[in-house]
Amino acid sequence: MNEVKIDLEACNGCRTCYEACFADVLRWDEAVKRPIVAYPEDCVECNVCELNCPGNCIEVVVDWDKYYPPVIEGDFRCEIGREV
Ligand code: SF4
Ligand code: SF4
């Protein structure tokens, strides 16, 4: 599983990472105004959070040993339901 490390001491609470993560990995703790890594198992290592954090507080550590679906080979284009 990927690990999303956030330096909460360096974080300025701007919410950029929380709003940028389309995979819903990050949630927002309104009480302390800081992000929460809620669903790291859903991280798709796009690095949008890390690249856009103004304080450079995030590090996405990719688990390269996790399962990746096999690459589908061949041409599977279809035209109105039939192969072309
Ligand atoms: S790397 Fe992408 S998917 Fe993973 S937590 Fe950051 S924004 Fe979300
Ligand atoms: S983008 Fe960086 S500074 Fe902004 S809330 Fe996320 S971790 Fe904190």
Give tens-digit pLDDT for 1-34.
999 999 999 999 999 999 999 999 999 999 999 9
pLDDT at 67: 79
Going by C-alpha positions, the residue among 30, 27, 32 that lies closest to residue 8 is 32
CA of 76 to the centre of ligand 1 (A): 30
Q: Is the CB of 46 under 6 A from ligand 1?
A: yes
- pTM for the whole structure: 0.81
Probe residue for ligand 2, chosen from 15, 37, 51, 57 as the CB with the greatest number of ligand atoms within 8 Å: 57
Q: What is the CATH number of domain 3-61?
A: 3.30.70.20
Residues 53-75: tens digit of each pLDDT: 999 999 999 999 887 777 777 76
Cα→Cα distances 68→21, 25, 83, Å: 20, 18, 27
Pairing of strands 3-6, 26-29: unpaired
Tokens representing 62? 């990719």
Three-state DSSP at 61 gives strand
Q: Give the mean pLDDT of 36-49.
A: 95
Q: Residue 8 and residue 58: Cα distance in Å, rounded? A: 9
